[in-house]
Amino acid sequence: MGFFTPWFLAGAVGVGLPIWLHLLKKHKTTPLPFSSLMFFERRIQSSIKHRRLRYLVLLALRTALILLLVLAFAHPYVRQAVAPASRTGEVTVLAIDNSLSMRAGNRLDEAKQMARRMVAGLRAGQRAQVLAFGARVQVMSEVTDDGAALNAGIDAIESSDARTSFAELARSLRSIAQSLHLPLAVHLYSDMQQTGMPANFNDLRLNAAVRLEPHPLGTKEAPNFALENVVAPRRVYDSRKSRVLATIASFGAGPGGHPATRSVSLALNHRVLETKTVEVPENGRATVEFLSLEVPYGKNRGEVRIDSADALAADDVFYFSVERADPRHALFVHEPENSRDLLYFKAALEASGQSAFEIDPATPDQTANLSPAKYAFVALSDVGAIPLAFENQLREYVRGGGSVLIALGHMSVARGRVPVTDDRIEETRYAGREGERFQTAVWLDRSHPSILKDDRWDDVKFYQAIRVAPGNARVAARLSDQTPLLMDHQAGEGHVLVFASTFDNVANDFPLHASFVPFIQQTARYLGRLDDRPPSVLVGTFEELRDSKEKGSAVEVVDPKGGRVLSLEEATQAQNIQFTQAGFYEIHRPNRADELVAVNADRHESDLTPAPAETLALWQNTAQGSSEGGGAAAGERKPLSLWWYVMLVVLALAVAESLLGNRHLSVDKEAA
């Protein structure tokens, strides 16, 4: 027997109460002298011994009642063997891990051999199914008792570059058990990587009909070196050599070891540019900097490699894509007497050292013969009157997919409306001595591309702002008096971004703050439709293949092995693809530049540390107590609570104590 709440047993000291009432609190009288007893009725006085014998039964009842109440609150239980549930029609599931870490040594081959031995040991008529899993689960065979079909499914499993997800496997097993309405005996063949376990252990929950049997592979912690990350430019716009920073990590080494020396090489288009050596500490990281990346025009395949010194060579290379192109031109229109706005705007664009845009300045009277079609975007900075022909060209430019940035100041107020959008200018908002000295940006739309990476505008002072009726525009920023500061209009396929102040450090001090540079750079990339794709993505990432204008057009995708990813039908209908291999994907779109995408495996797979045995045991027991399946496992012993039984005895004793106590009370009254 055991107790769920044993501390309640301390209440057993309460048995002293009935003992005190029955034995210690005796009725005592002191004889008093009295002159005559002739007027008192004669009565027979009972002996003390007789009274004690009569109340001992009531004492025992009350003592037992208190002890049983204490026992009930302590929640006693006994362990009871539960009869094993019937597992008629049980299906054997062979789940084989084919993630990147299973490429260490011969782990995948060993897992497949163990699965084949399991198939050979199946009884006649016993059905089974083969699954392969990494980041997602693949069904390699139907539920069948055909050994040849099961072995063919095992043979078809190939190693992948995906990351292990035991949560996805558990979700699939729950789904299979619910769809088959049959118990499952799951044999899991995996290196049981710790990084494959989910953050929420509840994601590993199994149905009661699922019986899990793990078969760990490579249980020893194998030292592994990996190229964890590479920082490289996505695009370069001049002939200068660029910087590449590589991080090398060490996993699974024993404590107290010595740093290992690794050779690291930078290559571009399969040509090695530079090689360096680095000492990597045990279970630590080291960085290597290359300053020799000289990129030719076009799309280029970059690689950083380390010498292979472990069983997992797949993470010894890191791919990145880099493109050399000429900067695109942007038209900046400003008033002749104001060149400060041009100075700040141009300096912010060039602050990164590799500017994607080249600014072509112009005054309003120089725009009559300029065609905006050749510009990535057009900026109008506090301009007054502009030629009507040029404004009409801007409207066509925006409807065709171009973008315009408009900064409003005191010169813009004279027009009474915003160029291109024709939004009405309501008033000029000044901060004066009699009221607020300045306004601040109190609300920012952090999802807008111009603000996405830097939302620290709270220290910027705005002394003048132009209040505009925003109409249907998306308001991305507001001042403290609720004046719209940044408005995004969409017209046709293009955008008009209106900034209700200036860039000249007169109406505000925005150009003097650190948030000005990322705002200008992000706005230019947004308006110039320059994507912010990183130099590499992870396996499992999705890529959009077409937009609304390209519906029905054929897109060709070539994987790292040179094979076509899409069928003829998918090439004209698929909206996106998922990168499933590490290496370089080529995407060829009609009427658009080709794209080269570098894909790398998730480096969580490089840590080969297995999950603790306690974690696996807990996972196996997640089906216990579930009501979804077919009952308890064979030989299971579960605690059976005795609380109700004790309370029934307490109730019976309470009735007996009440009846006996009333009987004694009535006798005492009659005697009195």
Rounded distance between C-alpha atoms, residue 339 and residue 333, angstroms? 10
**pLDDT band, very low/low/confident/very high, at 625 (cuts 50, 70, 90):** very low
DSSP3 helix / strand / coil % (the chain, rounded to 5): 30, 30, 40
608 phi/psi in degrees, rounded to 5: -85, 10
How confident is residue 628, by pLDDT bands cut at 50, 70 and 90? Answer: very low
Token pair of 645, please?
């039984």
pTM: 0.74
Length of the chain: 672
CATH 3.40.50.410 intervals, the chain: 91-219+610-623
Beta-carbon contacts of residue 211 (< 8 Å; ≥ 6 apart):
87, 183, 184, 185, 186, 623, 633
SS3 category, 636: coil
With a cut of 80, say whether residue 663 has pLDDT above it.
no
The pLDDT score that the predictor gives to residue 629 is: 41
Residues in contact with 176: Cβ distance below 8 Å, sequence separation at least 6, in sequence order: 93, 129, 184
- Please determine, for residue 634, whether its predicted confidence score (pLDDT) is greater than 70: no
pLDDT above 70 (res 499): yes
Longest dimension (CA), the chain: 144
pLDDT at 411: 79
Inter-residue contact 162 to 581 (CB < 8 Å): no
| CB-neighbour burial class of residue 479 (10 A; exposed 0-12, middle 13-18, buried 19+) | buried
CA dist., res. 606 & res. 339, Å (int): 54
Residue showing tokens 């290597």: 288
User: What pLDDT, on the 0 to 100 scale, is given for residue 549?
Assistant: 66
For 171-180, what is the mean pLDDT? 94
CATH 3.40.50.880 matches 328-527 = yes
Residue 609's H or E segment, with its range, is: none
pLDDT at 425: 86
Note the pLDDT of residue 542. Answer: 93
**CATH for the stretch 537-600:** 2.60.40
Q: What is the mean predicted confidence (pLDDT) over 308-335?
A: 92
DSSP string, 444-491: E-TTSTTTTT----TT--BSEEEEE--TTPEEEEEETT--EEEEEEEE
- The mean predicted confidence, pLDDT, of the chain is 85
Least-confidence region, from 92-106, 573-587, 650-664? 650-664
pLDDT value for 221: 64
Residue 29 has pLDDT above 60, yes or no: no
| Residue extent(s) of CATH 3.40.50.880 domains in the chain | 328-527
Q: Which CATH architecture has domain 91-219+610-623?
A: 3-Layer(aba) Sandwich (3.40)
Q: How far apart are CA 254 and CA 281, in angstroms?
A: 11
Edge-first strand order for the sheet with 184-190 is 137-139, 128-133, 91-97, 184-190, 210-216
pLDDT of residue 75: 75
Confidence at residue 40, expressed as pLDDT on a 0 to 100 scale = 64
Taking 80 as the threshold, does the pLDDT of residue 325 lie above it? yes
Residue 603, class by beta-carbon neighbours within 10 Å (0-12 exposed, 13-18 middle, 19+ buried)? buried
* Position 69, amino acid: L
User: Phi and psi at residue 402, in whole multiples of 5°?
Assistant: -80, 170
Asked whether residue 135 carries a pLDDT value surpassing 80, the answer given is yes
Check residue 627 and give its pLDDT: 44
- Structure tokens that stand for 544 in this block: 């959009």
Distance CA 97, CA 610 (A): 13
CA within 13 Å, CB half, 104: 29
Rounded Cα distance, 566 and 557, in Å: 7
- Average pLDDT score over residue span 259-274: 94
> Which amino acid would we find at residue 172?
S
Residue 204's pLDDT band, with cuts at 50, 70 and 90, is very high
Percent of the chain with pLDDT over 90: 51
Q: What is the predicted pLDDT for the residue at 497?
A: 95
Of the listed ranges 215-229, 265-279, 477-491, 616-630, the least confidently predicted one is 616-630
Residue ranges of the chain that CATH labels 2.60.40: 537-600
pLDDT of residue 669: 55
Number of H helices, E strands in the chain: 12, 32
Please tell me the predicted confidence (pLDDT) of residue 670. Answer: 58
Q: What is the C-alpha to C-alpha distance for residues 547 and 556, in angstroms, rounded to an integer?
A: 15
In this prediction, residues 295-320 reach a mean pLDDT of 94
Q: What mean pLDDT do residues 629-658 have?
A: 70
Contact 416, 439 (CB under 8 A): no
Mean local confidence (pLDDT), 117-137: 95
Q: How far apart are CA 138 and CA 637, in angstroms?
A: 36
How far is residue 78's CA from residue 73's CA, in Å, rounded to a whole number?
15
- Three-state secondary structure call for residue 283: coil
pLDDT tens profile 30-75 = 666 766 666 666 665 554 444 444 566 777 777 787 787 777 777 7
Q: Tell me how crowded residue 646 is: count the other CB atoms within 10 A of its CB.
A: 19
pLDDT score of 646: 78
Dist. CA 366–CA 273, nearest whole Å? 47
The structure tokens listed for 539 are 């396996």
Q: Tokens 């079909």 map to which residue?
A: 149
Question: Which band of pLDDT confidence, cut at 50, 70 and 90, is reported for residue 387?
Answer: confident
The string of pLDDT tens digits covering residues 327-383 is 999 999 998 888 899 999 999 998 877 788 999 999 988 887 777 778 999 999 988
Question: For position 501, what pLDDT does the model report?
Answer: 92
Q: Which of 167-181, 198-212, 253-267 has the lowest mean pLDDT?
A: 253-267
Name the 3-class secondary structure at 126.
coil
In tens, the pLDDT along 429-453 reads 776 544 568 888 989 998 899 987 6
For 419, other C-beta atoms within 10 Å of its C-beta total 23
- Percent share of the chain, pLDDT over 70: 84
